[in-house]
Structure 1
Amino acid sequence: MRVNELLTEGYGRLPDLVRGAVEGLSAEQLHWAPRPGANSIGWLVWHLTRVQDDHVTDLLDGAEQLWVTGDHAKRFGLEAHAHDTGYGHTPDEVEAVRPESPEALLEYFDAVFARTRTFVARLTEDELDKIVDERWDPPVSLAVRLVSILDDAVQHAGQAAYVRGLLPQ
């Protein structure tokens, strides 16, 4: 198996995880949190998608985030700020993320996922050692960044599924 096939397989598991967390829920259920200040299902899926959109876009020459160029933000009650990925959100900022429906989450996720899938499918092994972020010590390679994005997404999708299991009946 080539490395791009491995990454495609890893990222390819995300759609089922995301769908399992959000399909069939109401806007109120997407916004429900197990306690004040905790992350909701909607926020968790929005955040994992925002991080992927932000980070993968950084890897694409001249591309802009789908969050900024599309009409997704208004469906979440938010402004389309490129630097707002949810990282470091306060409880009030978490509360402000209000997807109008599971479809709003899934349409944004699907668009970001399609871009990511296309990107990883064409990668060669030689490209993976390229340094993509020198702000860290050691500097971050393309391979490490892609694994980091996937790891973050899987963790947040799992958290969203867990919160779904806590929803009041």
Structure 2
Amino acid sequence: MSSIDFMKQTLDFIHRGFKGAPDGLTDAQLHFVPDGQSHSIAWCMWHGVRIEDLFFQQLFQGKPAEWDTGGWAAKTGLPEKGFGTGQSNDDARAIHIASLDAFRSYQEKVAELSTAFLDSISEADLASRQVQMRDKTETLGESINLHLVIHLNGHRGEVNLLRGMQGFDPVLLNQGG
């Protein structure tokens, strides 16, 4: 299996996890935040797809984010600006997905765009293309693995913890999750 195929397979797993995250939940359960410095399942879903959109569209390709071009803030009822990184606990707790159907359409579009990008690059691109991350530079492969494969899978695990805290089964049970 090539590195690109592995990344596509892993992102597909993460996408399926986030897609199934709200299954069987009420709006209140989707937005439940336990005591302490935690997030809701809705926040994890929003943050995950926004990060993926920003990295694949803006950082890797220099294109506008799908969030902006597709008018998704208005469609989903989510904040127009921001993506969760550096957000205060109060701001994170205020994240509320008003239209889950519209949000799922955004998730599907971002997944489609991410796959299209991965289909357009080569194994050599992963090692040779450079991505500027504030004050450091990473290879494209490092950036995809660190900020998308590993980071997003961590939030997928957080979703399963939050589902379990509320008495629900985890998503992708017995499928590596």
TM-score by length of 2: 0.83
Partner of 1:73: 73
- Judge conservation of contact 2:33–2:93 (CA < 8 Å) in 1: no
Question: 1:101: how far off?
Answer: 4.4
Q: Greater relative contact order (Cα 8 A, min sep 6): structure 1 or 2?
A: 1
TM-aligned CA distance change 1:160 to 1:134, over 3 Å = closer
Partner of 2:19: 19
In structure 2, what residue type is equivalent to 1:26?
Answer: T
TM-aligned CA distance change 1:100 to 1:26, over 3 Å = farther
Partner of 2:175: none
1:23-70: CA deviation from partner (whole Å, max 9, x where unpaired): 232222211112265200000110011111111112114x21111112
Q: Secondary structure at the match of 2:80?
A: coil
Alignment coverage as a number of residue pairs: 165
In structure 1, what residue type is equivalent to 2:64?
Answer: E
User: In structure 2, which of residues 124, 127, 150 is the aligned counterpart of residue 126 of structure 1?
Assistant: 124
CA distance in 2, matches of 1:154, 1:14: 6
1:77-126: CA deviation from partner (whole Å, max 9, x where unpaired): 33322xx1100111121122100244343222211111111111222011
1:161 correspondence with 2:168: no
CA distance in 1, matches of 2:105, 2:20: 14
User: In structure 1, which of residues 134, 141, 144 is the aligned counterpart of residue 142 of structure 2?
Assistant: 144
- Judge conservation of contact 2:131–2:139 (CA < 8 Å) in 1: yes
Give structure 1 regions of 4+ aligned residues with deviation exceeding 3 angstroms.
75-79, 134-137
- Judge conservation of contact 1:14–1:153 (CA < 8 Å) in 2: yes
Structure 2 alignment gaps of length 5 or more: 169-177
CA distance in 2, matches of 1:43, 1:70: 20
TM-aligned CA distance change 1:16 to 1:134, over 3 Å = closer
1:32 correspondence with 2:26: no
CA distance in 2, matches of 1:167, 1:75: 28
Structure 1 alignment gaps of length 5 or more: none
